[in-house]
Amino acid sequence: MLSNETSVALVKGNKSYGQITGELLATVEGKTPLWWFAGMTIGTILLAIGAWAVYMSLAEGLGTWGLTNSVAWGWDIINFVWWIGIGHAGTAFTIFFLVFRQKWAGSINRAAEAMTVFAVVCAAMFPLLHMGRPWLAFYILPYPNTRLLWLNFNSPLFWDVLAITTYLITSIMLWYLGMVPDLATIRQRTKNKVGRFLYGMFSLGWDGSLYTYNRYETLMKLLGGLAAPLVISVHTIVALDFAVSVLPGWHATILPPYFFVGAIFSGFAMVLTLMILFRKAFNLYDYVTEKHLDNIAHVLKYGSLVIGLAYVTELFIAWYSGVEYELHTFFHARASGTFSTAFWIMFAFNAIIPQLFWFRKARQNLVVLFLVSVIINIGMWFERYIILISSLAQDFLPSSWTAYHPTMVDIGIYLGTFGLFTCGMLMFVRYIPIVAVNEVKPISRQGHANEKTTQDHER
């Protein structure tokens, strides 16, 4: 699928290790750029809007949301599925790197993992708030209690709690352990007392011993291997939340693989969006090369084909089944009728526009790459909107059909998660090297086998 030939240079410029350390730590050691403060301000404003919306939800109750008797899952679950989908790419990259030995993923997987962690935290906000009384969230854990009740272990909603918790904790372990050697490098170089204390604490006394590296490599491969099935299981279980119900449009065996591909698709699109911004902001052109962006564009191209196939298959099966409810949902609610605009936006944004990436010119044009990556994530939001709202708003009883509109509180919470994500990512890029220094060093020689490092500067 993706080229891994040894002739392709993964890091441009045949750099020495010292140079790599200096260049990659410049993002942490340099002065804070002005745009960072601007980004933080916007993020904080969004976070404040989110805090207001959360306050309203808790103080006034879920009546402040746009939910109705039929549309019991609205913006909250749309956004939950959307964020979880975005959160899939980090682990996917780690698996490419650790399990499939796709060395090119080495310079992206740190940023992708960070994105995963923040996206999953954003996603977890929604079901937590949807409980109405999140301080009683521990009720969903199976423990002996005075209520003399146990959980229903056959419920996908319980599986979802387990799946997301497992995914979040495993992602944090992979992300954090991956950065320990780099934190140690910063600890040795920083002159700031507070910085040395904090980096010293978090680097766990790492000394670069080969014995430690040996065990460390084994552990990372092990965690990568353990996380690999999680990438598939998390979104499969999210899909089961819908698929085990009896609603037309939800009750389909295609849903788990369809959700999984959608998640990888939207996650990779978000990685592309962020990497284009980061490589420009931090001058990482030598580490995140055109080849990296090209590889992600290839993944998106094939992802788009599979997604398109899933859309068409759903329509075909609805027609082929001959069930009038299915026919209504797919042809009268989605493809034509109330939700047709959203449906065709979804279809065009996810299945048609990314086909541009068959052309090399489109893959090499940064503006096209960036726009398409943003378009895909808008399209993926509409996909979740279509799945949820079109099936719920027009259910089996036409007398209870209703229109669904989000309220300001719904929109506020969504904006708040954007604030959380923006602030989290900005804190990450400021205090932790975006590119994994210790992982890039061994792959930096690839493609420069017969050249001598020319710029080995002495300090």
Which chain residues interact with other proteins by CB under 8 A? 16-18, 20-21, 142, 149-154, 158-159, 162-163, 165-166, 169-170, 173, 177, 180-181, 184-185, 187-189, 200-202, 204-219, 222-223, 226-227, 229-230, 233, 237, 437-439, 441-442, 456
Cβ closest to other proteins, residue 130 vs residue 441? 441
Q: Residue 86's closest CA among 271, 276, 266, 302?
A: 266
Q: State the DSSP string of 222-259.
A: HHHHHHHHHHHHHHHHHHHHHHTS--TTTS-TTHHHHH
The minimum distance between CB 435 and other proteins, in angstroms, equals: 13
The minimum distance between CB 438 and other proteins, in angstroms, equals: 5
The minimum distance between CB 308 and other proteins, in angstroms, equals: 30
- Which letter, b or e, does each residue of 84-123 get, where b requires 16 or more Cβ atoms within 10 Å of its Cβ? bbbbbbbbbbbbbbbeeebbbbbbbbbbbbbbbbbbbbbb
Cβ closest to other proteins, residue 177 vs residue 277? 177
Cβ closest to other proteins, residue 18 vs residue 447? 18
Instruction: Give residue 101's region: left, alpha or beta (phi > 0; psi -120 to 50).
Output: left
Q: Evaluate whether 189 touches 446 at the Cβ level (below 8 Å).
A: no
List of residues 6+ apart from 375 with CB closer than 8 A: 349, 353
The minimum distance between CB 302 and other proteins, in angstroms, equals: 27
The minimum distance between CB 13 and other proteins, in angstroms, equals: 15
Six-digit token string for 62 = 């879920």
The minimum distance between CB 414 and other proteins, in angstroms, equals: 28
Cβ closest to other proteins, residue 215 vs residue 405? 215
Say which residue the tokens 């002739």 belong to.
7
Distance between CA 102 and CA 93 in Å, rounded?
Answer: 9
List of residues 6+ apart from 198 with CB closer than 8 A: none
The minimum distance between CB 433 and other proteins, in angstroms, equals: 12
Q: Evaluate whether 175 touches 220 at the Cβ level (below 8 Å).
A: no
One-letter amino acid for residue 413 of the chain? I
Q: Evaluate whether 358 touches 301 at the Cβ level (below 8 Å).
A: yes
The minimum distance between CB 153 and other proteins, in angstroms, equals: 5
Cβ closest to other proteins, residue 213 vs residue 319? 213
Cβ closest to other proteins, residue 350 vs residue 438? 438
Q: Residue 161's closest CA among 122, 115, 127?
A: 127
Cβ closest to other proteins, residue 107 vs residue 185? 185
Cβ closest to other proteins, residue 17 vs residue 431? 17
Half-sphere exposure of 417 (CA within 13 A, CB side): 27
The minimum distance between CB 7 and other proteins, in angstroms, equals: 19
Total residues found in the chain within this entry = 459
The minimum distance between CB 247 and other proteins, in angstroms, equals: 16
Six-digit token string for 261 = 């591909």
Instruction: Give residue 425's region: left, alpha or beta (phi > 0; psi -120 to 50).
Output: alpha
Q: Residue 52's closest CA among 378, 381, 421, 407?
A: 407
